[in-house]
Amino acid sequence: MRVTQSMLSNNMLLNLNNSYGKMSKLQDQITSGSKITRPSDDPVVAVKGMGYRRDLGQVEQYTRNMNEVNNWLDTSDESLNQVGEQMKRVRELVIQAANDTNTPDERAKAKAEIDQIRKQIQDVANTKVGDRYIFSGTKTGQPLFINGTLNNANVNSEDVKIEVYDGIQMTVNTAGMDLFKSVDDMMGKISDVLDPNRIPLATSDEISSTLGGVTSTSTDDDITTMHNKILETQADVGARQNRVELMENRLSIREISVTKQLSNNEDVDYSKAITEMVTSESIHQAALSVGAKIIQQSLVDFIR
């Protein structure tokens, strides 16, 4: 095959264009910090990158879900703590009222304060996170109490769950219908016992029976029993808070792991890319020099 001058020129231009293309790709990698600028550069890297980004997106969503879980649990814990503190005050009032030296007026004052505490506990039972009631089961749009009456027709004791990891859901609410109903019934019972208009007036033993504990006449709806139920519910909330902390650590570890995998998959090795860039520039300059020598002079150059 006869090699002509035009063939040499065309081959030289083709090789120079390939050299420019390689240097352009290396320059893009150094500038962007990524091995690829478009999926066609390396489909395998691109597909893996999509998977890693999907995983990171899930971690971000689970982290947002975890914040919502913390909001529910923290609010529930604080609300139950308020109820527990009110139980202590009710106990103090009952102990004072159980003294036979108290007059009906003094018991009436204790009853009035207990009635206000009862309303306060009902307000706590209607605690909301955002626009959702946290003690109404899955009926989060309905308050637990309406005008001092349990809204048992429109609330339930079902669990509200939020996904916090792949296939893992956590119960974020505390089903308060039974608990707050028991507390409210107990408060109503105490209020009736302390009623100064009651005939006959309650004896000190009757009043003391509402305390529970070591009293021989204690019942299942006394103050001690109710307070213990509240503490048990708080303990359950605390256990879930501890688990949330463990899940947050797990999410953090997963985020670090996936980010590292994404970096290893896509991030350019600067030292390697810069070395290749310098090498390509040297080869390109050499190609230009050799090409200039290969191209022969034209007939016009000889005529001159």
Q: What is the DSSP string of 171-189?
A: E-----HHHHHHHHHHHHH
| Mean pLDDT across 210-238 | 81
Mean pLDDT of the chain: 87
Question: What residue segments make up the domains of the chain, in order of their start?
Answer: 65-261
| 102 contacts 96 by C-beta, under 8 angstroms | yes
Confidence of residue 189 (pLDDT cuts 50, 70, 90): very high
Rounded distance between C-alpha atoms, residue 33 and residue 147, angstroms:
64
Question: Looking at residues 209-231, what average pLDDT do you find?
Answer: 77
Cα dihedral 240, 246, 251, 256 in deg (nearest 10) = 170
Structure tokens at 97: 């009222």
12, 291 Cβ separation under 8 angstroms: yes
What is residue 40's DSSP assignment?
Answer: G
Percent of the chain with pLDDT over 90: 56
| pLDDT at 214 (0 to 100) | 53
Q: 178-215 in b/e burial notation, b at 16+ Cβ within 10 A?
A: ebbebbbebbeebbebbeeeeeeebeeeebbbbbbeee
Burial class (CB in 10 A: 0-12, 13-18, 19+), 232: exposed
Kindly state the average pLDDT of the residues 6-15: 74
Looking up tokens 């020598």, which residue turns up? 293
pTM: 0.80
In the prediction, which pLDDT does 18 show? 79
Nearby residues of 259 by Cβ (< 8 Å), 6 or more positions away: 56
Of 29-33, 129-133, 298-302, minimum mean pLDDT range: 298-302
Residue 217 has pLDDT above 60, yes or no: no
Mean pLDDT of 174-190: 93
Q: Quickly name the fold that domain 65-261 has.
A: f41 fragment of flagellin, N-terminal domain (1.20.1330)
Round to whole Å and give the CA distance between 100 and 103: 8
Of residues 14 and 222, the one with the higher pLDDT is 222
Cβ-in-10-Å burial (0-12, 13-18, 19+) of 153 comes to exposed
Please compute the mean of the pLDDT values over residues 133-144 and round it to a whole number.
95
Predicted confidence (pLDDT) per residue in 55-113, tens digit: 999 999 999 999 999 999 999 999 999 999 999 999 999 999 888 788 888 889 999 99
CB 15: neighbour CB atoms within 10 A?
15
pLDDT at 1 over 70: no
Q: What is the pLDDT of residues 248-290, one digit of tens each?
A: 999 999 999 999 999 888 888 778 878 877 887 777 777 777 7
